[in-house]
Amino acid sequence: MSILKDKIVLVVDDEIDLREMLIFELQNIGAKTLEAKNGKEALGIVKNEKIDLIISDVRMPGGNGIEFLDETKKISLNKPVFIFITAYSDNTREELHAHGVEGLFAKPFDLLYLLSSLEWFMLTPEDRYALKPKEKIIDENIYKISAKDCNDFRMGRGGAMIPTNTILLNAGAFINFQIQLKGGEEISGIGEIVWNGALNHNGEYCAGLEFKYFSDSTREFAIHTLMNHKCLEYIPQRSTKID
């Protein structure tokens, strides 16, 4: 049985064929669906219905996805989970996660991978962060970060901006991480690099890290920290873009 069974999913896209295909697939695994053709129409639904998950395009006439995302996050930060599916955008992945979007998928997308990702987002944090990713980790070394000693570390609701020194980590790579927070507490686990870029003009880089798994010893504290971190950014962006 899918974790999406009986979840209420709002599908927002001006392309009726794509909208109907997603609705069919979601209903096929037991989800309850609502639909809208643009952000303005969708926002009215969000204000009047209890929604668990939103799947939206970015560019739509009559109310775009960014404006819809911004207004939705003003109502509630963590629920509904907000996913973008788009062929193109004027905004980068870095900017979209900073706006608060939890997931981002490019058109055309792999349907099975999309549904699997949606199920991951619908798990409770305790179950979600106990699942080790199946993807291969690029380097068995652990990326160690001390927030107390690093001004370039920033935490969001689902990940962090991390300095990677002179190493440019590829987007899509999975790494082991160990983060010591300013209070001395530690969180560790596995994360996915979702964006990368220059940190400064000195040849140093940074990356957006999405948390995928927390170690048994730090999971409870890590989840508590994320759930009580009342910031808009799912993964923070750089304060100044060099590239």
CA 70, 30, 119: angle at the middle one, nearest 5? Answer: 55
Q: How far apart are the first and last CA of the chain?
A: 45
Q: What is the domain-level CATH number for residue 219?
A: 2.40.10
Q: Which pLDDT score, from 0 to 100, does residue 243 have?
A: 67
- Region 223-242: mean pLDDT is 92
35, part of any domain: yes
- Domain shared by 181 and 216, yes or no: yes
What is the chain's mean pLDDT, rounded?
A: 93
Give the H/E segment covering residue 83: strand 81-86
239, part of any domain: no
The two tokens of residue 78 are 């963590």
- Region 117-135: mean pLDDT is 96
What pLDDT, in 10s, does the model give residues 156-210?
Answer: 999 999 999 999 999 999 999 999 998 899 999 999 999 999 999 999 999 999 9
- Domain shared by 91 and 142, yes or no: no
Nearest partner of 205 among 216, 197, 213, judged by Cα: 197
> Is the confidence at residue 21, as pLDDT, over 90?
yes
What proportion of the chain, given as a percentage, has pLDDT over 70? Answer: 99
DSSP strand pairing (205-214 vs 159-165): antiparallel
Q: How many residues does the chain have?
A: 243
- Domain shared by 108 and 181, yes or no: no
Predicted structure pTM score:
0.93
34, part of any domain: yes
- Domain shared by 117 and 150, yes or no: no
- Domain shared by 179 and 111, yes or no: no
Among 122, 146, 167, give the residue marking a domain's end: 122
What pLDDT, in 10s, does the model give residues 24-48?
Answer: 999 999 999 999 999 999 999 999 9
The number of distinct structural domains making up the chain is: 2
Q: What is the domain-level CATH number for residue 83?
A: 3.40.50.2300
- Domain shared by 223 and 175, yes or no: yes
What pLDDT, in 10s, does the model give residues 140-164?
Answer: 778 899 887 788 899 999 999 999 9
What pLDDT, in 10s, does the model give residues 43-101?
Answer: 999 999 999 999 999 999 887 899 999 999 999 989 999 999 988 767 899 999 999 99
Q: 22 is in which domain, residue-wise?
A: 8-122
Nearest partner of 194 among 233, 149, 240, judged by Cα: 233
- Domain shared by 107 and 16, yes or no: yes
